[in-house]
Amino acid sequence: MEHSGSTRVQQFIGDPLTGSAPVERSKLEEIFRDIQADLRFDHQLNGCLNCGICTATCPSAHYYDYSPREIVQLLWTENLEGIYDAMQEKIWACAQCYTCAARCPFGNSPGGLVMLMRETAIKHGMESAKNVLRPFSRVMLKLISTGNQLSPDMISRDAFPDWGPNISKVDAPLATLRKAIPVPTLHTTKTAWEVNLKTSVELYTIWEETGVLESLKAVDPNLFDVIRDIMDEKREEYSDWQEEQEEEDDD
Amino acid sequence: MSKPTDTPAGERFTGHGPEWQNTQLSAKDAQVATVWVEQIINKRSMQTGKERVEDVRDIMWQLEKDGQIVVHRVTEEHKPVMVKTLYGWDKKIPTVRLWHHKSCGQCGNIPGYPASLLWLMNQLGTEYLDETDQTSCTAWNYHGSGIGNIESLAAVFLRNFHQAYVAAKAQGLPDGYYYPLVHCGTSFGNYKEVRGYLLHSAKLRERVRQILGKLGRLVDGKLLIPEEIVHYSEWLHVMREEVAKLRQIDCSNIRATIHPACHVYKMVPEDVIYDDKVLDGNRVAVSTGIMQTLGAEVIDYSTWYDCCGFGFRHIISEREFTRSFAIDRKIRVAVEEAHADVMIGHDTGCITTLDKNQWISKADGRPVGLPVLADCQFAALVCGAHPYKIVQSHWHASATEALMEKLGIDWRAKKAEFEEYLKEVAAGRAETLYDPRRKITSGPGFKRIGQPG
């Protein structure tokens, strides 16, 4: 990051001396309004005396330039420039453990507030969100099309080289090892468990109705297209099955 | 005090504020000065705001009385056991007729976790249903990526719990026969948080009611809300005396450290079991309770309250954080301070993180190794479950063999048995814990097979 002659705030917000503003005030207000409009906001932000208990307990604060106290202060004081700045990087450091929420004497949930800021970053198609979500494509593809977030075939030595050589300590084809799990719903390799077609179709309706697909389209249009194709096929398949059932019932 | 202008360029938002300066206190004086912000998240530290915390179940009963929702009750038929939570409130834990709400991380990555739980239920004669009409809670992805929102989380929650309510129809049994048992700690925390928002917000309820109406997932045109949201570790806790009666292997020589999961006991902390008989009621009772009842020695360690480092997105895309935290704040402390033989957990992400992120410690020349298992896997193991067929220990990267040796289990012989068994599996003769035909309760592939018996 360039520091010569400008602070990080100046880089994102503009130069307070010259008055230049790369991000319009109206945009900053719109972003804050979106965060504030979530029904959870008033439950998660009750006040703040800067005591710092949240940051004292925070695992991410050990490793990142991140402080839940700062996040709460920015939102509590409605520091629009600071909020926008934090959304460029800092909010993605939070490990979502909610230790901060468990300890806050005010009953604030800094971790919960971070989620509202992440959702808003995605809604506004911020570059930070796009960068952060890139490695999540496969998880999101699985999740949105099957309702599973992780599948056995995602755990490989190539994907997780730092986990060591033992993905399984018994050497056998993945499909055989999965069939050796004595839980019949788990005899799968592409999903964590066997998912009913009807279930996937219902879940897709939820994604559509709640605007999640639109959010996905804003940050990853290619993934959105792939998922739409998969789900259209599943809907068609389910519709065919329903028609077959009706015909059988008529017979 | 320094002035804001003293702050180096680019460091305005450091997390400390521009007026921050080092106090120059000695380590001892600093400890005295900051002890009031100690990090530990125990019962005492969470009781400070007790008078401001409401029991959302009061709102739930009122909404049902007003005809706005239907409550899925834990009935006498579920043989509930009453427990006390953080503030001394009652919570009903159903012990039979359970609908397994699986965990995608467990099923995909630690399959011995659900297999051990189902095996224990078989040993106890517990009636249950495991089926294909279930999605994950979607909260791992939500907390990691931010894709999702309160409406999607709420709709997914109520869709899955509605399915638990109606699933017994496939067996000719009434609605509400089965009660959902949530396997994943993240699902448990997320569902409880979402239930709170649903009960507080008429707007959210109406929005979700419209969506579930389209799915045919309403009861008499109303949302179905569960009376209790129950984690499997709570079931294991209330069943611990019964489970201990099955014990075949003496584990009194095992020094066990417990990792309490953040989304189990820090998220919606008022709904978590604290038991005066377990660590004097000072910490969450689950896992510690079953380990002590089985006869293992539970050893304290100074970072017991810390998270595992999973981070939801970090384990996928910033593993430097995950593995550093897991090794330095958890595994190494448990090994060097507590001289532990095993780390026991009760959540998906924690078991994965603590188990998988040990091998990399060799990279900096300070290798550390500690077997990591879920509480139900350990319980199954000492109750005689096969370490590979049931506990599925081969999926664990950590040295579970060392634990088995200390328990007197000939893991080499058991592994050889399992490898031989794989030939049977490949030939289509795999053993299962229940009749596989029960796994489909509606939709494509469904065939009625009658009542369980």
Residue B70 bridge partners (DSSP):
B224
Distance from CA of A16 to the nearest CA of B (A): 14
Rounded distance between C-alpha atoms, residue B131 and residue B141, angstroms: 22
Same domain for B306 and B205: no
* Domain assignment present for A1: no
Domain boundary among A124, A152, A170: A124
By CA distance, what is A10's nearest residue in B? B10
Matching residue, tokens 């179709």: A201
Rounded distance between C-alpha atoms, residue A23 and residue A30, angstroms: 11
Domain boundary among B179, B209, B233: B233
Same domain for B403 and B263: yes
Matching residue, tokens 């009760």: B346
A143 touches chain B (CB under 8 A): yes
In degrees, rounded to 5, the angle at the alpha carbon of residue A150 between the alpha carbons of residues A118 and B100 is 105
CB B151 within 8 A of CB A210: yes
Same domain for B166 and B260: no
CB A33 within 8 A of CB A75: no
How many CB atoms sit inside 10 A of residue B453's CB? 5
Same domain for B223 and B259: no
CA pseudo-torsion sign B26, B28, B29, B34: positive
Same domain for A52 and A28: yes
Same domain for B291 and B175: no
* Domain assignment present for B395: yes
Contacts of A85 in chain B (CB under 8 A): 13
Contact B145 A151 (CB under 8 A): no
For B260-272, write each residue's pLDDT tens digit.
999 999 999 999 9
Same domain for A140 and A73: no
Rounded distance between C-alpha atoms, residue A205 and residue B250, angstroms: 51
* Domain assignment present for B409: yes
Same domain for A152 and A61: no
CB B386 within 8 A of CB B119: no
pLDDT reported for residue A21: 62
Provide the 3-class DSSP secondary structure of residue B128.
strand
- Structural domain of B215: 52-233
Q: What is the total count of domains within chain B?
A: 2
Same domain for B273 and B363: yes
Same domain for A156 and A117: no
Same domain for A205 and A106: no
Same domain for A139 and A97: no
Per-residue pLDDT of chain A (251 residues; tens, 9 = 90+): 333 444 555 555 555 566 656 788 899 999 999 999 999 999 999 999 999 999 998 999 989 999 999 999 999 999 999 999 999 999 999 999 999 999 898 899 999 999 999 999 999 999 989 988 888 888 888 888 888 888 999 988 888 999 998 889 999 999 999 999 999 999 999 999 999 999 999 999 999 999 999 999 988 999 999 999 999 999 999 999 999 988 887 77
CA pseudo-torsion sign B23, B29, B30, B36: negative
Contact A196 B159 (CB under 8 A): no
Same domain for A104 and A195: no
pLDDT reported for residue B379: 98
Enter the tokens of residue A196: 């009913």
> pTM of this prediction?
0.91
- Interface confidence (ipTM) of the complex: 0.91
CB B352 within 8 A of CB A155: no
Rounded distance between C-alpha atoms, residue B183 and residue B168, angstroms: 19
CATH number, domain containing residue B125: 1.20.1050.140
pLDDT reported for residue B193: 97
* Domain assignment present for B239: no
Q: What is the total count of domains within chain A?
A: 2
Contact B146 A122 (CB under 8 A): yes
* Domain assignment present for A94: yes
Rounded distance between C-alpha atoms, residue B197 and residue B190, angstroms: 11
Ramachandran class of A24: left when φ > 0, alpha when ψ lies in -120 to 50, beta otherwise: beta
Same domain for B312 and B278: yes
Contact B359 A162 (CB under 8 A): yes
pLDDT reported for residue B32: 74
pLDDT reported for residue A150: 87
Provide the 3-class DSSP secondary structure of residue A102.
helix
* Domain assignment present for A218: yes
Distance from CA of B16 to the nearest CA of A (A): 8
Contact B433 A176 (CB under 8 A): no
Distance from CA of B214 to the nearest CA of A (A): 9
Same domain for B330 and B220: no
Same domain for B263 and B219: no
* Domain assignment present for B405: yes
Burial class for B181, CB neighbours closer than 10 Å (0-12, 13-18, 19+): buried
Q: How many residues does chain B have?
A: 453
Contacts of A49 in chain B (CB under 8 A): none
**Kind and range of the H or E element at A111?**
helix A110-123
CB B239 within 8 A of CB B124: yes
Domain boundary among A124, A144, A172: A124
By CA distance, what is B10's nearest residue in A? A7
Same domain for A230 and A144: yes
pLDDT reported for residue B195: 98
Same domain for A112 and A92: yes
pLDDT reported for residue B14: 44
Contacts of B440 in chain A (CB under 8 A): 196
From chain A residues 36-95, the ones with a CB under 8 A of any chain B CB are: 38-40, 43, 50-53, 55-57, 59-67, 69-70, 82, 85-86, 90, 92, 95
Same domain for A174 and A113: no
From chain A residues 16-35, the ones with a CB under 8 A of any chain B CB are: none
Same domain for A181 and A108: no
Same domain for A242 and A207: yes
Provide the 3-class DSSP secondary structure of residue A38.
coil
* Mutation choice for B interface testing from A103, A153, A231 by most B CBs within 10 A: A103
Contacts of A53 in chain B (CB under 8 A): 37
Contacts of A185 in chain B (CB under 8 A): 102, 107, 130-132, 439
* Domain assignment present for A176: yes
Same domain for B97 and B155: yes
To the nearest 10 degrees (0 to 180), the angle between helices B185-200 and B56-65 is 50
Enter the tokens of residue A206: 């939820």
Domain boundary among A90, A124, A158: A124
* Domain assignment present for B437: no
pLDDT reported for residue A5: 43
Same domain for B351 and B220: no
DSSP character string of A39-70 = TTHHHH--------HHHHH-HHHHHSS--HHH
CA B377 to chain centre: 13
CATH number, domain containing residue B319: 3.40.50.11810
CATH number, domain containing residue A61: 1.10.1060.10
Contacts of B325 in chain A (CB under 8 A): 59, 62-63, 95
* Domain assignment present for B25: no
* Intervals of chain B under pLDDT 70: 1-23, 33-41, 48-50, 450-453
- Structural domain of A148: 133-250
DSSP-derived secondary structure letter, B331: I
Distance from CA of A19 to the nearest CA of B (A): 18
Cβ-Cβ contacts under 8 Å between A and B: the total is 346
